[in-house]
Structure 1
């Protein structure tokens, strides 16, 4: 049986938050039965951190691209390209341009197909449509387990 672990999370993380969250993700991944498949969109921040950690822990990646031109919305193109090249599978959703509807659809895709959704999330209300709050809310509404990874007392940048 394969463990399919999805990710959603904030795009901007401080160095301290990144260190803490990486340790939480490593511990959580090591609890899962192998083989391990990480499912996410490779957005800056949480998605790329999760994907790198999955690969370091010997898992495989299934990348869900929200739309054509998605890579143009990212700050860390080198990391994105490296992780995309390492993916075992890539699914591109049928949106002509990136934006909240595509991001929300990608979050739903991940939530529907994972066994567990990892949310690198401060638990706060959304800053806009289609983000982490929407993905977590949807996952919970369809009965998927959600694991929050966030340092106590940390403030999102």
Structure 2
């Protein structure tokens, strides 16, 4: 049994989505037996990873950063996907924060890393923004904790401006 958490960019371009989806599928086939995927199921990398885990026959653990996350942070264009993934998850872990803010996201990232045997980072390799809680920050934390990190950034992938 392998538990893999995800971190990654939310703002993938439309052309990047199929590239990232295919790269995640390829990576996760290696772990098909007993795969558990841990994701905050945000738009972009988190949801693509969650879908790939389910397609591979794995179990999904959804980590929700705050009690108000669905109402305040999930945009209408992602709501149906978010709700479907929450409903499909084998487990939903609600982080005990009332409001979706930097502190809540950092707490959710801590849960991801504590539960994981390894981390998948859908990451362009750029350094942290300085705001805290972003993809690069999670990669640094995972590496400092000795957690193996698989970086997924296929040729042609890009972030929206």
> Shorter chain as normaliser: what TM range?
over 0.9
Q: Return 5+ residue gaps in structure 2 as ranges.
A: none
| SS of alignment partner, residue 130 of structure 1 | coil
Gaps of 5+ in 1: none
2:69 counterpart of 1:70: yes
* Number of aligned residue pairs: 156
Pairing 1:147–2:146 present? no
Aligned alpha-carbon RMSD (Å): 1.3
Measured after TM superposition, the shift of residue 152 of structure 1 is: 3.5
- 2:91 equivalent in structure 1: 89
| SS class of match (1:91) | strand
Structure 1: 4+ residue segments shifted above 6 A: none
Any conservation in 2 of the 1:107–1:134 contact (CA below 8 Å)?
Answer: no
By how many angstroms is 1:108 displaced?
1.6
Counterpart of 1:45? 44
TM-score for the superposition, normalised by structure 1: 0.93
Q: Deviations over 1:106-142 (max 9, x none)?
A: 1121112111100011111233321111111111110
Q: What's the counterpart of residue 60 of structure 1? A: 59
Contact residue 32 and residue 58 of structure 2 kept, 8 A: no
Contact 2:19–2:156 at 8 Å: present in 1 too?
A: no
Matched residue SS, 1:15: coil
2:114 to 104, 112, 115: 112
